[in-house]
Structure 1
Amino acid sequence: MAISRMFQILILSLLYFTSSIVLAANPTYNIQSYGAKSGGKSDCSKAFLSAWGAACAATAPATVYVPPGRYLMRNVYFDGNSCKNNAITIRIDGTLVAPSDYNVIGSSGSWLKFERVTGVSIYGGTLDAQGANLWACKNSGKGCPKGATSLAFYNSNNIRINGLVSMNSQMFHILVDGCRNANLVNVRVSAPGNSPNTDGIHVQQSSGVTIMNSHVSTGDDCVSIGPGASNLWIENLACGPGHGISIGSLGWEMNEAGVQNVTVKTATFSGTENGVRVKTWARPSNGFVRDILFQHLVMVNVQNPVIIDQNYCPNHEKCPHQGSGVKISNVKYEDIHGTSATQVAVKFDCSKTRPCSGIELDGVNLTFRDKPATASCSNAGGTAEGVVKPSSCL
């Protein structure tokens, strides 16, 4: 018994000693130590950047810590070119709040911008961009700035965002552009359904992006997928209000990177404008969309549950009406059920110059007001298997 007890004490002592070494080797930089004050009135941008700079200079994994409270932040640029540390965690227990005057960040493009960083993780916290006044300006038709994306990652690798809440963004909430290996988990996006251009998560020119266990309520696309996105995995997403999950708009440029290998599974759309959509401009392009899987989706009173729109041309402006040049192929819709808010629940409006091919329907069951819905096809080819309601028009 004595030997066993001594062994337990030895093990506990070793664990304590080891953990003490790890804590000592992995420093934490509290933004309050660099002058940040909570309350949401004092500009904490310089304090945050000072803590970031200290973490970048550390030779071991480091943490930038934001304690509970509200911290006013102007535009902040996190430059990876001058950062030697590839393992920085930003732990947020409080709220970062943008200035109430939307002009302060409204013309900058991004509020919190990370560029060329590697191994950055953001855990917890809330971003409140206070975008309501800018939305009102846009909706009034007055001249106002375009607005800033709340959190943007450019040309970065091995990014992780876990447990973040983004509220009331002026424009996009989260942007992933030119990145490799980004994981967004337990993210919550919140903005009213009438907030313009407030896409929840936008991904473009990026590969290896995963979005899981997240909830997006906003005024535009819950997730929008732009040119150059590949190997994208979206799972267990709740969307609504919003415009659904959209691949596109694509094909604005003649030589534009395509979208491929996208999986969307186990998602619920509630009262959204669209469910899953592929959208391309009605203009010449060499782009493509291929190898897409939409699987295990629930539609609850969705206006356009399943839609391909290759004749996108708002207000009939800047479109030569020559047909979309984006080639859409190998798109599978499997186990999609629920209710449509319009009679046409499945609509494939494909390009007259480059028709859709390889569309697969398997186990689609959508109704309209407890009645049979309908499907519409134009320039679309493919197959249907299992129960397909409305009846396939492919």
Structure 2
Amino acid sequence: MSRSSNIALPLLFTLLTFIDVSTSSSNVFNVVSFGAKPDGVTDSTAAFLKAWQSACVSAGSATVMVPAGTFLVKGITFTGPCKSKLKFQVAGTVVAPADYKAFGNSGYWILFNRVSKMSLVGGTFDARASGFWACRKSGQNCPPGVRSITFNAATDVIISGVKSINSQISHMTLKGCTNVAVRNVKLVAPGNSPNTDGFGVQSSTGITFTGSTVQSGDDCVSIGPGTRNVLISKLKCGPGHGVSIGSLAKTLNEDGVENVTLSSSVFTGTQNGVRIKSWARPSNGFVKNVFFQDLIMKNVQNPIIIDQNYCPSKEDCPTEQSGVAISQVTYKNIQGTSATQQAMNLVCSKTNPCTGITLQDIKLTYNKGTPATSYCFNAQGTNLGVIQPTSCLKR
């Protein structure tokens, strides 16, 4: 096991021992009792909020219950922290307004703000974003779009058995969070839906994703600046853009990313497998102690990629070199097929080489019958075991 794995895993498991919000609730607050209608037409936003507020001030553990049926909910913010542990239990389906303009420029559909010792369990959340996607594709002047489910500044949270479909942009976002466990969640949007990220994580620490499925039009998981101690396992990704650290170097003074482990996961038909990307700009940011292990690639365009010259519009990249320092990244036991001949593409900064890259037991083949290739630029590291295609790392 690599040094990055040894660092990341103990820290994560130490942090996660503090998460225990699964205790049974003595007080149940059913949204129907507060006026919600399970008809998919009546606006139940106020009823959901009243149920939350009542549960939040409860002296004992409480449950907000969303029973079977379809409930229309507009933009809503559930604010904490609450007095006691709280479970948000969904048995039915929560739908957004069909008119995407109803959200304005808010950026959020369902926002949990500053909650602590809480669990979100079950249910389907349907953002009904087809009209928004059509607007984006047509080039019209559209709203910025909303994230379906967001946790902001949350601590000690469990998210389990949730299904999010048809998000306008990101399905589930964690920002400024500590100690969050995501289990058996399914996020689904068409592969051609624009910018529909699965999980987005930024400025957070102690985050685990286990047993989730992501089908999207963008990154299955996006890990942003200031994120530490992340463990992703048993992920099924595809369609989508794979798992990305970045984009980084959006600003000069940017916090780094460290202690990230992705293991035992499958990528099917994705644009990328595992990617680290930074804008070609000056930055104080960094990426270190990253461990990618036991991954299967099925017809993936870029199974292993580092792109430190990310500049899709060819604008705002004046120096064409990234200041982000990438070090101690391990790729171990990654196998499968590449949809392009260049299965490994490690393009590091012109002025700031990637260091401590380890390739171990890699077997990637090009599915067109000719040998796969690798390309490196300013990438330094070590090769262990059998490497296919032939490694291009500099020692």
TM class, shorter-chain normalised? over 0.9
1:157 and 2:155 equivalent?
A: yes
* Residue of structure 1 equivalent to 2:321: 323
* Residue of structure 2 equivalent to 1:283: 281
1:51 and 2:51 equivalent?
A: yes
Distance in 1 of aligned mates of 2:48 and 2:229: 33
Distance in 2 of aligned mates of 1:233 and 1:359: 19
The structure 2 residue matched to 1:268, chosen from 258, 266, 269, is 266
Per-residue CA deviation, residues 355-386 of structure 1 (Å, 9 max, x unaligned), is: 10000000000000243200000010001110
Q: What is the Cα deviation at residue 108 of structure 1?
A: 1.1
Quick one: which amino acid aligns to residue 376 of structure 2?
C
Distance in 2 of aligned mates of 1:223 and 1:195: 16
Aligned residue runs from structure 1 range 97-108, under 5 A: 97-108=95-106
SS in 1 for 2:231: strand
1:31 and 2:31 equivalent?
A: yes
Mapped contact 1:126–1:165 kept (Cα < 8 A): yes
Per-residue CA deviation, residues 157-184 of structure 1 (Å, 9 max, x unaligned), is: 0111000000000110000000000010
* Residue of structure 1 equivalent to 2:223: 225
Mapped contact 2:321–2:350 kept (Cα < 8 A): yes
Distance in 2 of aligned mates of 1:329 and 1:132: 41
Distance in 1 of aligned mates of 2:281 and 2:53: 46
Mapped contact 1:250–1:281 kept (Cα < 8 A): yes
Instruction: State the TM-score, normalized to the length of structure 1.
Output: 0.93
Q: What is the Cα deviation at residue 79 of structure 1?
A: 1.3
Per-residue CA deviation, residues 137-195 of structure 1 (Å, 9 max, x unaligned), is: 00111100110000001111011100000000011000000000001000000000011
1:389 and 2:381 equivalent?
A: no
Distance in 2 of aligned mates of 1:322 and 1:364: 30
The structure 1 residue matched to 2:127, chosen from 126, 129, 134, is 129
* Residue of structure 2 equivalent to 1:5: none
* Residue of structure 2 equivalent to 1:72: 72
Alignment size in residue pairs = 370
Instruction: Mark the runs of 5 or more structure 2 residues left unpaired by the alignment.
Output: 1-22
The structure 1 residue matched to 2:336, chosen from 335, 338, 342, is 338
* Residue of structure 1 equivalent to 2:118: 120
Larger Rg: 1 or 2? Answer: 1
- The structure richer in helix per residue is 1
Instruction: Mark the runs of 5 or more structure 1 residues left unpaired by the alignment.
Output: 1-21
- Which one is further off, 308-317 or 365-374? 365-374
- Which one is further off, 364-373 or 252-261? 364-373
Mapped contact 2:334–2:363 kept (Cα < 8 A): yes
SS in 1 for 2:284: coil
Aligned residue runs from structure 1 range 339-358, under 5 A: 339-358=337-356
Mapped contact 1:345–1:390 kept (Cα < 8 A): yes
Quick one: which amino acid aligns to residue 385 of structure 2?
G
Q: What is the Cα deviation at residue 322 of structure 1?
A: 3.8
SS in 2 for 1:233: strand
**Greater relative CO, 1 or 2 (CA 8 Å, sep 6+):** 2
* Residue of structure 1 equivalent to 2:94: 96
Distance in 1 of aligned mates of 2:334 and 2:82: 47
Distance in 2 of aligned mates of 1:331 and 1:302: 20
Mapped contact 1:162–1:187 kept (Cα < 8 A): yes
* Residue of structure 2 equivalent to 1:41: 41
* Residue of structure 2 equivalent to 1:7: none
Per-residue CA deviation, residues 90-114 of structure 1 (Å, 9 max, x unaligned), is: 1100000000000112521110011
Mapped contact 2:327–2:356 kept (Cα < 8 A): yes
Distance in 1 of aligned mates of 2:63 and 2:320: 54
1:172 and 2:200 equivalent?
A: no
1:301 and 2:299 equivalent?
A: yes
Distance in 2 of aligned mates of 1:379 and 1:350: 5
Percent identity over the alignment?
51
Distance in 2 of aligned mates of 1:232 and 1:317: 32
Q: What is the Cα deviation at residue 57 of structure 1?
A: 1.1
SS in 2 for 1:272: coil
SS in 2 for 1:46: helix
Distance in 1 of aligned mates of 2:144 and 2:196: 11
* Residue of structure 2 equivalent to 1:11: none
Quick one: which amino acid aligns to residue 176 of structure 2?
G
Q: What is the Cα deviation at residue 26 of structure 1?
A: 1.2
Instruction: State the TM-score, normalized to the length of structure 2.
Output: 0.92
* Residue of structure 2 equivalent to 1:187: 185
Mapped contact 1:86–1:117 kept (Cα < 8 A): no
Mapped contact 2:356–2:380 kept (Cα < 8 A): yes
Distance in 1 of aligned mates of 2:26 and 2:313: 56
Mapped contact 1:346–1:374 kept (Cα < 8 A): yes
Distance in 1 of aligned mates of 2:244 and 2:82: 37
SS in 1 for 2:143: coil
Distance in 2 of aligned mates of 1:99 and 1:322: 43
Mapped contact 1:106–1:170 kept (Cα < 8 A): no
Quick one: which amino acid aligns to residue 98 of structure 2?
S
